[in-house]
Structure 1
């Protein structure tokens, strides 16, 4: 059973983030929170990401591994290559589409409409994803062909 029952994206003031950062990912059993500096993403993108993640987690498509170190996400990526995930800004998405999740075995891409997130936010999120997904802190629960 998937221990992560909620993933939440929220906009926050700068005093809630480490100096010089535009986002932070924090987790606890059953919860993952992505705090984003106000102005680096739109509220509507956060709402859309929250909806997509709700369905992804309900379907148990990604599983949070047991947390043995509460600061594990902040450690440098070990580059284990368990899977790849990243955000990519796109200017060719239809006007009413804010983001699109593309998933296949060992790969997950978030296409994000240009203007909904800053390039700096995308860089920071991609650094987090190298650690979280690349090192297997969260594992894809890909259905077997059987």
Structure 2
């Protein structure tokens, strides 16, 4: 497994950008770009509302600032996100659309985290099914193959 970015550096950032669909691969809802210390999800217009984009970015900031999930060094393989999942099953990360009534009033996203698992529940009126499927596929690669590691408390 790659070198883990240590606590001596600033926490890794996860950014979400809403972009024109023409800037993504044909038919894609999202494309991820990764460099050391930053992962950017470029999301095609119509696949996520601006309100959910802001909320999900804030929630991801909490996870990374607390270093509950850390990036292993992409410098060893800068194109690693473009490769298919190896199926190692180290951890599970997914986005799931849920009915508005599942979430508290006014909430558009909620993380459910356990040892080796992080599922983001997203308000179905604010994220497309295609987006959730594509991000979940990235999750199979990123968390499932150990490109990001969970630091779940052991005590």
Quickly name the TM-score band, shorter chain normalised: over 0.9
* Residue 49 (structure 1) aligned to one of 46, 56, 59: 56
Q: Secondary structure at the match of 2:70?
A: strand
1:5 Cα offset (Å): 2.4
Verify the 8 A CA contact 2:12 2:70 in the aligned structure 1.
no
Q: What are the within-5 Å matches in structure 2 for residues 77-92 of structure 1? A: 77-91=85-99, 92=102
TM-score (norm: length of structure 1): 0.95
Residue 148 of structure 2 is aligned to residue 138 of structure 1: yes
Residue 113 of structure 2 is aligned to residue 99 of structure 1: no
Superposed CA offset, 1:69-107 (max 9, x none): 111011110000100111111102233010000111001
Q: More displaced, 131-140 or 87-96?
A: 87-96
- Aligned match of 2:35: 28
Unaligned 5+ runs, structure 2: 1-5
Unaligned 5+ runs, structure 1: none
Q: What are the within-5 Å matches in structure 2 for residues 10-25 of structure 1? A: 10-25=17-32
**RMSD across aligned positions (CA):** 1.2
Question: Structure 1 CA distance, aligned partners of 2:27 and 2:98?
Answer: 25
Q: More displaced, 13-22 or 79-88?
A: 13-22
Q: Secondary structure at the match of 1:63?
A: strand
Superposed CA offset, 1:49-68 (max 9, x none): 11111111111111100111
TM-score (norm: length of structure 2): 0.89
Q: Number of paired residues? A: 145
